[in-house]
A and B are shown apart, each in its own frame.
Chain A
Amino acid sequence: MDVFLQQCLNAISLGGIYALLALGLAVVFSIVSLINFAHGELMTLAGYAIYAALLFAMPLPVALGAGVIAAALAAMAIERVAFRPMRRADATSLLITSFAVSVILRVLFQNGISARPKPVALPPELSGVVTFGPVHLSVIALASIAITILSLAALSLFLTRTTMGRAMRAAAEDFQVLRLMGIRANRVIAVAFAISGALAGVSAALWIAQRGSVDPLMGFVPVLKAFIAAVIGGLGSLPGAVAGGFALGIAEVLFQAFLPPEALPFRDAFVLSLVVAVLIWRPDGLIPAKTGRRS
């Protein structure tokens, strides 16, 4: 029972990170129908910003803030340089552009910074353990859960209580009508990228807290997870992205925990089969976007 409870906590902790990652993709997709595969490189960039800030002996909260801001600014810059000129292009061209941005950034990191991982040393307090009765939770896992909840709450407040937030939700449902209402499209899109970048920065902080280093190829796995989670949740749907993230995290942890040892090397195959099953059952995802727009 204790082990089961512990595994549930593990699942929530991992699911939270996936939810943040998927949300980062979904915010942009809901508005411009683009899966931004350079999202992972935004995480890497945030990682290097945190690394640099710590190198200059800045306190940890400042360094983490620097990471989030760097990723948000970079996301806006990428939108301006790479995606805005492609505004009228079809979804495939946008997708390929995002791959190109991702590859360019990776090579820049690799040849401009280092091909080797850069250590990001976190204060020792962060490697502690908190014990609740029978279950242990590392401070990092606990922080992941807390930060995920805070970020989700902040985003939902922004989307429901501010004009820009409402505009973004409206844009997700029908961009043309939104423009007819006199809202400036470029600004809505830029804000969507900034939020997506900030989410990448927050996920990067959590991701790096686990691995203790940043390297040029760091973003690949998380963006893949985010993509899977966003698809299960329903592409372009924000609640869907969160649900998809948690579903993926829970499935991964439970399969890892309870598959017999001989089957463990095939864990990802089990998880992905489940994803396929979900999509057969609900082709538009768990919580489909209101427009039902698909890539």
Chain B
Amino acid sequence: MTMTIRALLATSALGLLLSAPARAEDVVIGLATAQTGALAFADQPSLAGFRMAMDEINAKGGLGGKYKVTLDVKDTRSDTGATVQAAQELVAEGVKVLITPCDADPSIAAGQISQTAQIPTLTFCGTTPTITDAVGDYMFGTYPADNGQATLLAEYAAQQGYKTAYILKSPDTAYTLRLPEYFADVFQKKGGTIAGEGTFAMGQQDFGAEVTKIAAMNPQPDVIMTAAYEPDFPAFLKALRGAGVKAPILGSDGIDSPTTTGLGAIANGIVHTTAGFPADGTPLGDFYAKYEKATGAKPETVYVATGYEIPYILDAAVTAAGTMDGPALRDALANLENVPVLTGKVTYKGTNRMPIRDITLVKIEDGARSPVETATPDAALVPAP
């Protein structure tokens, strides 16, 4: 009995979808993102920002001033198979844009489906620069790519006069493996040498053996660089300082979280990349204040802001294209230049659809971050993905 009712409901819902002549200005954006599981730490805040911006844009008349957007949010449970299934459902439903999780694997898998259906697809904060080419011309990154972050870090290391570097990487993800390798690439181009490399398994948080090897290095490296993040980064840092190693540390945007500043004195001097720093009076600072007013708490991470930027990037593209049809929207996105967003300007023109955008370096001192510099990485130095 229940089955019959369900089947009836399903068919009538389907019927409605097929028969209702959707008003031209009503569109659906599908989000196949991880609201539970291992990627939720990044996708949940990204979605919060995304929703907020979408509400603002809808209140002003919609994308490009005429497309009112409803969101269809499907939880992928951080599972690549479930992401594909969600993407298939959303594509079948006729979404105009697809948003994928903050990670390369599920984004590439979901992108394969939307690519065939000619639906522009953006990853929340997937940073692997190969995401876009692995999928095709409908796939766009939105967040500072790994090779860009690494370039800025290597340039900073060279400016500081560091001659030798030790890199710690993990083959478990593209991010933790390739970012340090890109760094090594640029650091060597700038005249530095890689004095040593270490490997770790993510999530195991035992660094005793690895730091003992670093402590035994003679001479000690001038700087240590890693793209490890929680829980590995704090465990590494504690073990490293526990073994008496004093070399300064460079990290990536993965450690842009309150845990890092909560580590106390041992975190002093860490310099890491992030999408932006919310200084007072900057657009990002204003956004943090606005977000706090709306939700009662400051964003815990910059992912809220980068999620918030995506509807505005889309808005710029829809305005330029005048339509939300796949091919036209793809071309408009690919030709965007200097779109002002919270953390600077975003440019897709002339890229492989991983945006050129500002990256900020911040330094941790006494439990607080302060900006070191904000720059767009030098395109001539950025390693090929």
Residues of A at the B interface (CB closer than 8 Å) are: 3, 6-7, 9-11, 13-14, 107, 110-111, 114-124, 127, 129, 131, 136-141, 207, 210-213, 215-218, 220-221, 252-254, 256-257, 261, 264-265, 267-268
Contacts and interface: CB of A to CB of B under 8 A. Distances in A.
B134 interface: no
Interface stretch (B219-227, B230-238, B305-313): B230-238
Contact of B266 (A127, A215, A267): A127
A116 B262 contact: no
Interface stretch (B93-101, B187-195, B204-212, B272-280): B204-212
B206 A212 contact: no
Contact of B209 (A10, A119, A121, A220): A10
27 contacts: A3-B212, A7-B212, A10-B208, A115-B35, A116-B41, A116-B300, A119-B259, A119-B262, A122-B264, A124-B265, A127-B242, A129-B241, A138-B239, A138-B241, A138-B242, A210-B239, A212-B231, A213-B230, A213-B231, A213-B234, A215-B41, A215-B230, A217-B37, A220-B203, A221-B205, A257-B213, A265-B171
Nearest to A12: B208
* Top 6 closest pairs, chain A to chain B, by CB: A138-B242, A10-B208, A119-B262, A211-B231, A115-B40, A256-B209
B264 A117 contact: no
A261 B209 contact: no
A254 B213 CA distance: 12
Contact of B199 (A122, A124, A257, A261): A261
Q: Is the interface of A mostly helix, strand, loop or mixed?
A: helix
Contact of B231 (A110, A215, A216): A215
Interface of B: 35-38, 40-41, 44-45, 171, 197-199, 201, 203-206, 208-210, 212-213, 215-216, 230-231, 234-235, 238-239, 241-244, 257-259, 261-266, 300-301
A163 B178 CA distance: 58
A213 B242 contact: no
A127 B235 CA distance: 11
Given A116-B44, A265-B171, A211 B205 contact: yes
Contacts of A107: 36
A8 B264 CA distance: 28
Contacts of A220: 203
Given A115-B41, A261-B199, A207 B205 contact: yes
Contact of B208 (A14, A110, A118, A268): A14
Contacts of B231: 117, 210-213, 215, 218
Contacts of A207: 205
Nearest to A258: B209
A139 B230 CA distance: 21
Nearest to B169: A265
B40 A127 contact: no
A212 B260 CA distance: 8
Contacts of B266: 127
A153 B168 CA distance: 38
A63 to B, nearest CB: 14
Contacts of B206: 10, 14, 210, 252-253, 256
Contact of B234 (A6, A10, A212, A268): A212
Contacts of B205: 207, 210-211, 221
Contacts of A213: 230-231, 234, 257, 259, 262
Given A107-B36, A116-B257, A140 B238 contact: yes
A227 to B, nearest CB: 14
Contacts of B238: 127, 138, 140, 210, 212
Contacts of A265: 171, 199
A30 B36 CA distance: 34
B242 A136 contact: yes
A220 B204 CA distance: 10
Given A116-B41, A215-B41, A264 B263 contact: no
A141 B44 contact: no
Contacts of A252: 204, 206, 209
A210 B240 CA distance: 11
B106 to A, nearest CB: 16
Contacts of B242: 127, 129, 136-141
